[in-house]
């Protein structure tokens, strides 16, 4: 009897030993499948085109490089995965497995492939590309975009409620990206009357030609954080056009005013965010009239074929007293009219004393009403 009890005890011990040697799976409640859904507000990015009217959508290059980065608390990249626009943008969300809920998600669209192997969030935000002709930041014409924030963005998946990913993923991240640039749009250039308080003579411009609309004071590179980088390109008083904008000429109409060609378009420039650039506008073939009472006008002068320059800065009010010194990413700065008078025409750009500002309208990709200030 004792031997039978002994053998039974050994059998029970062996059974427990066998169970203890088996691998017991460890379940991580903070890890699972993530559905990434991208929202892409933006705008078109060509030089002379229809003006931005509100919340339109930026192009996403179907053959471009788009990336999802998973970042830990120390801003180190844990994983880098190709983003599929057909799923993440056009579909119900791109599902990625084995994602830790504490990771943060950072997305870049229309990106250079050089960002794919970067290992820190700081390096990704600093990455970008050269401005090509100012009218398009990328040679292929697509605006680079990234997400607004690097804050934690994963939440439990609610299973396809309005605006969120559907499917069986454990988590979801709905990320709104924005263009990593600012944008300037100008609709018209026109003239006003100048009164000389010393001579008591009124002068008005009745016709003129605009030889070009050029951007001054811009960074040759953008970053995904929206800032500019590289050597700042600026014009001094020895101006020479080096492809900094749009070449004319455009002739004034009977108003007189100059608008871009074709009709209904605007001069538009995509810029790295940061210090607000000036516009340099060379003007020629200026024809003037004078008056002593701002009513009876003299015969028109002969056209002045010399080149004169307007230097334009920006304000947030029509009076030009509230200077606008910074352009922010994902903002469109719209200028309805740059109005100048004869006293604002200088023999060189960037006069020592800058005294002309133009009101700007600001739109979030966002429109910002902006007023021009002619120096």
pLDDT of residue 286: 96
Task: With cut-offs at 50, 70 and 90, classify the pLDDT of residue 161.
Answer: low
Only one residue has tokens 């609610």, namely 158
Q: Is residue 17 part of a domain?
A: no
Are residue 200 and residue 287 in the same domain, yes or no?
yes
User: Which domain-ending residue is among 119, 153, 180?
Assistant: 180
Over residues 118-126, mean pLDDT: 93
Q: Give the closest residue to 33 by CA, choosing from 220, 227, 171, 204.
A: 171
Are residue 201 and residue 172 in the same domain, yes or no?
no
Strands (E) located in 165-301: 171-179, 182-186, 189-191, 193-196, 201-216, 221-222, 228-229, 245-251, 257-258, 266-271, 274-275, 278-291
Which residues, 6+ apart, have CB-to-CB distance to 188 below 8 Å?
Answer: 257, 258, 259, 336, 337, 338
pLDDT in tens, 193-206: 999 999 999 999 99
Q: Does the structure show a pLDDT above 60 at 279?
A: yes
Q: Is residue 99 part of a domain?
A: yes
Q: How far apart are CA 299 and CA 9, in angstroms?
A: 124
CATH number at residue 58: 2.60.40
Q: How far apart are CA 216 and CA 375, in angstroms?
A: 13
Q: Torsion over CA of 91, 93, 96 and 100, rounded to 10 degrees?
A: 170
Are residue 213 and residue 90 in the same domain, yes or no?
no
Q: Which two tokens stand for residue 173?
A: 């991240």
For residue 133, what are the domain limits?
Answer: 29-180
Over residues 239-263, mean pLDDT: 76
Q: Is residue 123 part of a domain?
A: yes
Q: 0.85 cut: is pTM over it? A: no
Number of domains in the chain: 2
């Amino acid at each position: 009897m004792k031997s039978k009890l002994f053998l039974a005890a050994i059998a029970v011990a062996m059974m427990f030993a066998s169970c203890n040697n088996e691998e017991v799976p460890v379940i991580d409640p903070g890890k699972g499948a993530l559905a990434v859904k991208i929202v892409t507000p933006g705008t078109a990015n060509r030089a002379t085109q229809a003006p931005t009217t509100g919340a339109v959508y930026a192009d996403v290059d179907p053959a471009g490089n788009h990336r999802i980065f998973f970042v830990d608390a120390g801003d180190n990249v844990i994983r880098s995965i190709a983003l599929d626009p057909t799923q993440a943008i056009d579909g119900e969300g791109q599902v990625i497995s084995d994602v830790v809920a504490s990771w943060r998600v950072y997305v870049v669209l229309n990106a250079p492939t050089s960002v794919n192997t970067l290992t820190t969030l700081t390096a990704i935000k600093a990455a970008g590309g050269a401005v090509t002709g100012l009218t398009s930041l990328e040679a292929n014409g697509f605006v680079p975009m990234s997400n607004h924030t690097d804050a934690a963005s994963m939440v439990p998946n609610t299973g396809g409620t309005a605006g969120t990913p559907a499917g069986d993923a454990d988590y979801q991240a709905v990320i709104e990206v924005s263009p990593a640039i600012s944008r300037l749009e100008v609709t018209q250039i026109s003239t006003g009357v100048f009164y000389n308080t010393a001579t008591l003579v009124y002068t008005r411009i009745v016709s003129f030609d605009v030889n070009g609309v050029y951007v001054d004071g811009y960074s040759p590179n953008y970053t995904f954080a929206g800032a500019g980088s590289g050597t700042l390109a600026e014009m001094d008083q020895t101006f020479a056009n080096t492809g900094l904008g749009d070449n004319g000429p455009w002739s004034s109409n009977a108003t007189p005013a100059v608008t871009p060609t074709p009709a209904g378009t605007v001069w538009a420039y995509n810029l790295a965010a940061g210090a607000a650039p000036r516009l340099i506008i060379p003007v020629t073939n200026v024809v003037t009239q004078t008056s002593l009472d701002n009513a009876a006008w003299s015969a028109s002068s002969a056209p002045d074929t010399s080149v004169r320059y307007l230097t334009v800065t920006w304000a947030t009010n029509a009076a030009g007293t509230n200077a606008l010194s910074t352009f922010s990413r994902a903002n469109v700065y719209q200028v309805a009219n740059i109005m100048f008078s004869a006293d604002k025409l200088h023999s060189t750009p960037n006069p020592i004393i800058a005294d002309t500002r133009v009101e700007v309208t600001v739109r979030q990709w966002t429109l910002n009403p902006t007023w021009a200030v002619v120096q």
